[in-house]
């Protein structure tokens, strides 16, 4: 089976992790500080804190912002895309706030009219660059703080600026299969004041007892060393995935070609096709023929909130993410081609 994701963790990764272990300092230290500096520079943020996951980054960002919310936390409303990873929903809940779903358009980015309608009632909004595409709404002036989520689009640019440099707060994920993935990890970028708050919420040993919860959310040097390795080969990886996007274009009938617009400005993270309501059966069929296709998101998040989001519900029935690996062997290209010929015939 050609797997849906296969990050390449070769010798430099094992050497990097080994050298951290050999140094005798595995918790948060020099590697984390170095990683933070590199990403702060790339995104041109004022400050940044590396943490243990993208979900923690979101939860901590919301908790830090909530000190300025006009309402009490439990009634604070946080806008999240309905067609997105469940981590967003759980991060909002873990911060003690109420998630409010925003529907998507056919191209899987937010339906701007619906988002603008909801925005005045929100205390904060999470804008995700989905599946390696760019969410242009990050450029707009929203009536509430914007958390820009670059978990899936890290490294992409918008109007000559790195994604992540638009929101009031930015979060990233270093989960293994993400573009900047090592093993686990994440990062929050924002003002120095906000990052100071997040550092205080991430280290119980330096905690202030007025806080309801402080957890060990710091990233370890082992995890940071893996991310640093990934960043070193990242440009090459994007180019290889872009090459494989073009390969998929030429091996799929027009009707199945990736429905994503403006993909040249994204980071080529996913190849998503739509199949008119047959996603589940088509995924099974593709897998039977050696292609590890998967749903881009496990469930639309409005199923949890009880809201109606027609675009997200339809995307869930239609959308399939095809393996878009940076490297494939000749045998794998052949297997992929043969599988596509059977499952998606011209
Ligand atoms: C858009 C988005 N944000 C945040 C996260 C959470 O990141 P992590 O898996 O590092 O907790 C994910 C995870 O899939 C994601 O897709």
The full set of domains in the chain, from first to last, is: 11-232 (3.40.640.10), 234-343 (3.90.1150.10)
| Radius of gyration of the chain measured on its C-alpha atoms | 20
d(C-alpha 80, C-alpha 296), whole Å: 16
DSSP strand E in 150-294: where? 157-158, 161-162, 169-173, 186-190, 271-274
Using alpha carbons, list the distances in angstroms from residue 151 to 13, 220, 240, 278, 327.
Answer: 21, 19, 19, 28, 21
**pLDDT at residue 207, as a whole number:** 82
- Please count the other Cβ atoms lying within 10 Å of the Cβ belonging to residue 298: 10
Provide the strand spans (E) within the chain. Answer: 47-51, 77-81, 98-102, 124-128, 146-149, 157-158, 161-162, 169-173, 186-190, 271-274, 319-322
- Pocket lining: 172 vs ligand 1, CB cutoff 6 Å: no
- 139-152 burial, b if ≥16 CB within 10 A, otherwise e? eeebebbbbbbbbb
Tokens 């009536």 belong to 143
Predicted pLDDT at 74: 66
* Cα 217 to Cα 231: distance, rounded to the nearest angstrom: 22
Whether 170 lines ligand 1, by a CB cut-off of 6 Å, is: no
Taking the C-alpha atoms of residue 339 and residue 294, their distance in angstroms, rounded to an integer, is 15
Q: Closest ligand 1 atom to the C-alpha of 85?
A: 16
Which three-class secondary structure state does DSSP give residue 109? coil
* Number of alpha helices (DSSP H) and beta strands (DSSP E) in the chain: 12, 11
188 Cβ below 6 A of ligand 1: no
CA distances from 240 to 235, 244, 312, 318 (A): 9, 6, 30, 27
Query: With a 6 A CB cut-off, is 163 part of the ligand 1 pocket?
Result: no
Which class for 205: exposed (0-12), middle (13-18), buried (19 or more C-beta within 10 A)?
exposed
Helix/strand/coil for 273: strand
CB 11 within 8 A of CB 301: no
Which parts of the chain register pLDDT below 70?
A: 71-74, 259-264
Q: How far is the CA of 127 from the centre of ligand 1 (A)?
A: 13
Distance 107 CA to ligand 1 centre (A): 20
Taking Cα atoms as reference points, which of 55, 62, 63 lies closest to residue 186? 55
Give the pLDDT confidence score for residue 346 in this predicted structure: 73
Which residue's C-alpha comes closest to atom 16 of ligand 1? 85
Residue 128: alpha-carbon gap to chain centroid? 7
Task: Give residue 259's pLDDT.
Answer: 61
Q: What angle is formed at CA 107 by the lines to CA 135 and CA 326, rounded to 5 degrees?
A: 75
Residue 125 DSSP label? E
């Amino acid at each position: 089976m050609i797997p849906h994701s296969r990050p390449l963790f070769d010798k430099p990764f094992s050497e990097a992790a080994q050298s951290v272990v050999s140094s005798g300092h595995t918790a948060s230290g020099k590697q984390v500080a170095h990683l933070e500096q590199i990403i702060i520079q790339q995104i041109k943020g004022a400050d940044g804190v590396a943490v243990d996951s993208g979900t923690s980054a979101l939860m901590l960002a919301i908790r830090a912002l909530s000190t300025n919310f006009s309402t009490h936390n439990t009634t604070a409303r946080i806008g999240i895309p309905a067609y997105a990873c469940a981590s967003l929903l759980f991060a909002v809940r873990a911060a003690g706030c109420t998630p409010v779903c925003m529907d998507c358009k056919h191209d899987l980015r937010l339906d701007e009219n619906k988002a603008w309608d909801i925005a005045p009632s929100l205390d904060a909004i999470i804008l995700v660059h989905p599946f390696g595409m760019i969410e242009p709404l990050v450029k707009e002036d929203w009536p509430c703080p914007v958390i820009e989520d670059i978990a899936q689009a890290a490294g992409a640019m918008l109007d000559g600026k790195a994604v992540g440099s638009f929101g009031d707060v930015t979060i990233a994920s270093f989960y293994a299969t993400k573009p900047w993935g090592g093993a686990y990890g994440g990062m929050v970028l924002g003002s120095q004041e906000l990052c100071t708050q997040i550092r205080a919420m991430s280290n119980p040993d330096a905690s202030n007892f007025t806080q309801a919860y402080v957890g060990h959310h710091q990233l370890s040097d082992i995890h940071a060393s893996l991310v640093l390795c990934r960043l070193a080969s990242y440009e090459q990886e994007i180019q290889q995935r872009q090459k494989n996007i073009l390969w998929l274009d030429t091996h799929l009938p027009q009707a199945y070609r990736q429905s994503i617009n403006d993909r040249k400005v994204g980071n080529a993270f996913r190849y998503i096709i739509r199949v008119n309501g047959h996603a589940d059966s088509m995924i099974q069929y593709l897998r039977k023929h050696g292609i590890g296709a998967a749903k881009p998101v496990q469930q639309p998040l409005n199923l949890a909130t009880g809201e109606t989001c027609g675009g997200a519900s339809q995307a869930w029935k239609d959308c399939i993410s095809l393996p878009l690996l940076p490297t494939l062997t000749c045998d794998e290209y052949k297997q992929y081609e043969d599988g596509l010929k059977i499952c998606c015939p011209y």
